[in-house]
Amino acid sequence: MEQEINCVFSDMDNTLFDFFQAKQEACTAVVDNIGTGNPEEMLSYFLRGIYGFEDLENIEDYLREKYVFSDDLFSECCQIYEDTKIDSILLYDGVAETIDSLKDLGCSFVVVTDANTENANKRLRKAGIYNMVDDVFAHDMSGKKKPDLGVFEYALNKTNRKAGESIFIGDSLRRDIAPAKKIGMLTAYAAYGDRNTHEREFRFNPDYHLDNIAEMIDIIQSKKPKKSI
């Protein structure tokens, strides 16, 4: 007999909202401010893997590359970047309604993210779902980042949930789906938000493929025990 799902764990960026687009808008604002370069080129600095995906040292490198660096300009550009990024966050269609429906079905909704707690809370508040989420587990809480299995084990332990009674939603096959599946969770691949062009060579089969997060409702309903007549 299949186990009933009682908790939905979810990635945040590019699963609940288009964070990639928000970063593009932030890079555009910085480039406009310094008057040289282009947004796509600047965004590529965040994708290099030299620093973290959100590390502001990427901005410093870009300013130095364009021969415009100064401490004051760097501070100004960092503020512009952070403010624009937050202002540009918008929920994907159906996210709030889906969370509500999942709760009506008896599921908790928990965010697991590589962002730190402060940034995660800022983004969820801007998206308007901070008070809808039951828990948020961030990088600075577990001390690990996906795809480390410790990220998922930490969230399960803190919520007192079993892997077999949980499902994980994420936009990265490598960092979300594969490790969650490895520890025994069901997995739902948020294909609608996958911007991970640098991971295209990675292959992994999720339990479910989502073109819209609202499809989670039918998935959870299908795991409910059938009522006897």
Residue 1 confidence class, pLDDT cut points 50, 70, 90: very low
Cα–Cα distance between 183 and 156 in angstroms, integer? 10
For 21-62, write each residue's pLDDT tens digit: 999 999 999 999 999 999 999 999 998 889 888 899 999 999
Could you read off the pLDDT of 58-96 as tens digits, one per residue? 999 999 999 999 999 999 999 999 999 999 999 999 999
pLDDT at 228: 47
Left, alpha or beta for 67 (phi > 0: left; psi -120 to 50: alpha)?
left
Structure tokens at 87: 């202002």
Amino acid letter at 80?
I
- pLDDT, position 20: 92
pLDDT-derived band at 196 (thresholds 50, 70, 90) equals low
| pLDDT confidence of residue 227 | 59
CA distance 111 to 92: 15
